[in-house]
Amino acid sequence: MLPLLTAKDIRKADAYTIKHEPISSIDLMERAAKAFVGWFINHFPDKKQAITVYCGTGNNGGDGLAIARMLNEHHYKKICVVVARFGKKSTADFDGNFERLITAGIPYTGINPGDKLPDDKGQIIIDALLGSGLNKPLAGDYARLVNHLNDLNKTVVAVDVPTGLFTDGDMPADALVLKAGLVITFQQPKLSFLLPESGPHINCWEAVNIGLSGEFIQSLNSPYQFIEEKDIRQLLRPRPRFSNKGTFGHALIIAGQPETMGAALLSASGCAHAGAGLTTACIPQSGLVALNTSQPEVMAIMRDGKKTPEMAWDKFSAIGIGPGLGKDKQALQLLGNTLKNYQKPMVIDADALNLLSANPKLWKKIPAGSILTPHMKEFDRLFGGHISWWSRIQTAIVRAAEYNINILLKNNYTIIATPGGRVYFNPTGNPAMATGGMGDVLTGILASLLAQQHPPEQACIIGAYIHGKAGDELALPSRMTVVMPGKLAQQLPVTIARLTL
């Protein structure tokens, strides 16, 4: 896992590294600039392109000056530096790098408050105006400059953080930010890069290691963690040779209405393909032919639409409930009965979440360790409206602890909040997965992993990762715009095999 730090903690990690490595802060800046330049050269190898580096007078600006000098050393011929001197102060490392820039004979233009903004003949803009030190929304001269640069519609490469973007905390929806085609960010993605509010401002980002003390970063015990492939490789176990279907549990998927049988089929398919030993689907009677035809592997318990069928609850190692279930009286009764009769962690999704929102009495019946899988709208129905994704995360932390549950909030970077206060961000998945039925497959995967005895927190981490990874394997190589959920379910055994040692 890659710990994700807030700006405050990043400053602490910078200071610790400077003191204990030890390294002078200007040398750390040099290292950061070098890491940036390494990536920059890979992405933009054409050394004849005109590049303008816009620098503030803080350490982000100091990085910009060092980057301009290094690009010049790498024979980028047309480097132009613009220094925005909008404040009275500058940092010592900015000043140090300014001297080095002058010594290297690189020309620069200074702009002071109220000055006319210079023309820009560059093809590429490097944004080193403000970084993680942003402490208020852009206004005045900064706003004027950023609006001007946005209007130029050039390729912008941001240093560490796009100017105007807060790294964490609530972000106003209308925040002014210098839009970046690429952000080369230091040490770790900033938390805000993983939230939808950053979508309009960042096309893509790359994190480069600048060697901040790993030991110190771990000691901060950040609640925020970024899942990496190696974590999944550690968690997935090969199937033992002496095993049988009983070894991998029996999952029950309670889902579907006559008109939403597809949700039940997709969920059951996700469950079986993710490796449950046995999968049973509790479905409306009218769906039996569809189930038997499309998935002969899955067993059925039929519902007549009137009362909850008799079920031997104990024989199921895990339950997933909700996809396409409907919100009528029978669905409510079925959810109530399930919560009354089943005490092990279960997966609660879709209509089961909507029923829960409308019937808050059910909250106290949810088994400890259960997994709730809302998308944004379901989340807000459960917990009230939110002004930002940051505030949704804070609510998820509180509610996961209060109800002793895992909340898997679906998103481009799906967010998992655990009862112990951890927040995991899942890196896999892509927009080709934004298609109806995709969440139903995830519910099946999660129920399957619970049935296979993965503890709920692990099931969330593995489930979100392999779901997104299967989607990536299908969509990315051929730039497919849509991945069908049924196809994704079929891809799962391949994805899992590739990740199993």
Ligand X SMILES: NC(=O)C1=CN([C@@H]2O[C@H](COP(=O)(O)OP(=O)(O)OC[C@H]3O[C@@H](n4cnc5c(N)ncnc54)[C@H](O)[C@@H]3O)[C@@H](O)[C@H]2O)[C@@H](O)CC1
Which residues would be at the binding site for ligand X (CB under 6 A)?
A: 14, 25, 28-29, 32, 56, 58-61, 63, 87, 91, 130-136, 138, 142, 159-161, 186, 210
Phi, psi torsion values for 237, nearest 5 degrees:
-110, 140
Rg (CA), the chain: 26
CB of 126 to K ion, least distance (A): 9
Q: Is 158 in the site for K ion (CB under 5 A)?
A: yes
Q: Is 69 in the site for ligand ADP (CB under 6 A)?
A: no
Distance of CA 207 to the CA centre of its chain: 14
Q: Which is nearer to ligand X, 178 or 347 (CB)?
A: 178
Q: Nearest CA to 28 among 219, 260, 211, 263?
A: 211
Stretch that binds K ion, among 55-63, 116-124, 246-254, 420-428 (CB under 5 A): 55-63
Question: Please, how many CA atoms are within 13 Å of residue 406, restricted to the half-sphere of its CB?
Answer: 27
Q: Nearest CA to 104 among 74, 64, 62, 69?
A: 69
User: Is 448 within any annotated ligand binding site?
Assistant: no
Q: Which is nearer to ligand ADP, 201 or 467 (CB)?
A: 467
Considering only 442, 460, 466, 489, the residue that binds ligand ADP (CB under 6 A) is 442
User: Is 97 within any annotated ligand binding site?
Assistant: no
CB atoms within 10 A of CB 496: 20
d(CA 250, CA 33): 54
Q: Nearest CA to 194 among 10, 7, 413?
A: 413
Q: Which helix (H) or strand (E) holds 346?
A: strand 346-348
Considering only 5, 32, 159, 291, the residue that binds K ion (CB under 5 A) is 159
Q: Where are the beta strands (DSSP E) in 171-290?
A: 180-186, 202-208, 224-226, 250-254, 278-284
Stretch that binds ligand ADP, among 135-143, 151-159, 360-368, 437-445 (CB under 6 A): 437-445
Q: Nearest CA to 475 among 487, 463, 464?
A: 487
Q: Which is nearer to ligand ADP, 96 or 429 (CB)?
A: 429
Q: Is 156 in the site for K ion (CB under 5 A)?
A: no
Residue 134's binding partner among K ion, ligand ADP, ligand X, none (Cβ under 5 to 8 angstroms by kind) is ligand X
User: Is 292 within any annotated ligand binding site?
Assistant: no
User: Is 211 within any annotated ligand binding site?
Assistant: no
Residue 81's identity, in one-letter code, is V
Contact 120, 92 (CB under 8 A): no
Q: Is 231 in the site for K ion (CB under 5 A)?
A: no
Binding string, 262-301, against ligand ADP, x = CB under 6 A? ----------------------------------------
CB of 9 to ligand X, least distance (A): 12
Considering only 164, 437, 456, 463, the residue that binds ligand ADP (CB under 6 A) is 437
Could you tell me the strand order of the sheet in which 202-208 lies? 108-111, 78-84, 50-55, 124-128, 155-159, 180-186, 202-208
Angle at 440 between CA 370 and CA 269, to 5 degrees: 105
CB of 30 to ligand X, least distance (A): 9
User: Is 134 within any annotated ligand binding site?
Assistant: yes
Residue 293's identity, in one-letter code, is T
Question: Known binding site for AMP: residues?
Answer: 410-414, 439
Where along the sequence are the contacts to K ion (CB under 5 A)? Answer: 60, 127, 131, 158-159, 163
Where along the sequence are the contacts to ligand ADP (CB under 6 A)? Answer: 350, 375, 410-412, 414, 429-431, 433-434, 436-440, 442, 467-468
